[in-house]
């Protein structure tokens, strides 16, 4: 008998969430709710070998992580899993939103203590 756990997140942008999962080498696929409906959503599925997949499901405000904790099969506890994704997601948001205003990433480094160093630059193109 499955008992799904719904964990709130701060992931609101599918593009950045997918980039974060890719950076962490977490294989996933998109699942689109019934496209014949007037309003449909794209969810992300992380397959597990035991068949009890993990989903990031849109609840109208954010992507909730949905999983049956009895069948958690990832290499780290769920709290660590979410923390890792959150850290990468934040980095992707910073890079993406900064690029919109002219910044370019010049360094993205994962430090040995688990932190990330991100360096951006923007050149002043308006010469007087």
Nearest CA to 58 out of 12, 2, 5 is that of 12
Token pair listed for 49: 């070998």
Distance CA 13, CA 39 (A): 17
pLDDT of 114 over the 60 cut: yes
Phi, psi dihedral angles at 47 (to 5 degrees): -75, 145
> Residue ranges per domain, the chain?
4-101
| Beta-bridge partners for 64 | 57
Distance CA 33, CA 13 (A): 17
pLDDT single digits (tens) 55-72: 999 988 999 999 999 999
SS3 sequence, 62-104?
Answer: CEEEEEEHHHCCCCCCHHHHHHHHHHHHHHHHHHHHHHCCCCE
Where is 18: in which H helix or E strand? Answer: helix 14-23
Q: Return the higher-pLDDT residue of 10 and 2.
A: 10
pLDDT single digits (tens) 25-45: 999 999 887 666 666 788 999
Burial class, 111, CB count within 10 angstroms (exposed 0-12 / middle 13-18 / buried 19+): exposed
pLDDT single digits (tens) 60-103: 899 999 999 999 999 999 999 999 999 999 999 999 999 999 99
């Amino acid at each position: 008998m499955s008992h799904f756990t719904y964990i709130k997140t701060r992931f609101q942008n599918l593009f950045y969430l997918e980039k974060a999962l890719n950076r962490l080498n977490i294989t996933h696929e998109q699942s689109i709710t019934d496209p014949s409906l007037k309003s449909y959503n794209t969810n992300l599925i992380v397959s597990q070998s035991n068949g009890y997949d993990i989903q990031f499901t849109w609840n109208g405000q954010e992507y909730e992580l949905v999983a049956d904790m009895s069948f958690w099969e990832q290499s780290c506890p769920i709290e660590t899993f979410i923390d890792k994704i959150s850290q990468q997601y934040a980095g992707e948001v910073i890079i993406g939103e900064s690029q919109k205003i002219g910044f370019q990433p010049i360094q993205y480094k994962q430090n040995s203590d688990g932190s990330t160093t991100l360096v951006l630059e923007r050149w002043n193109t308006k010469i007087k």
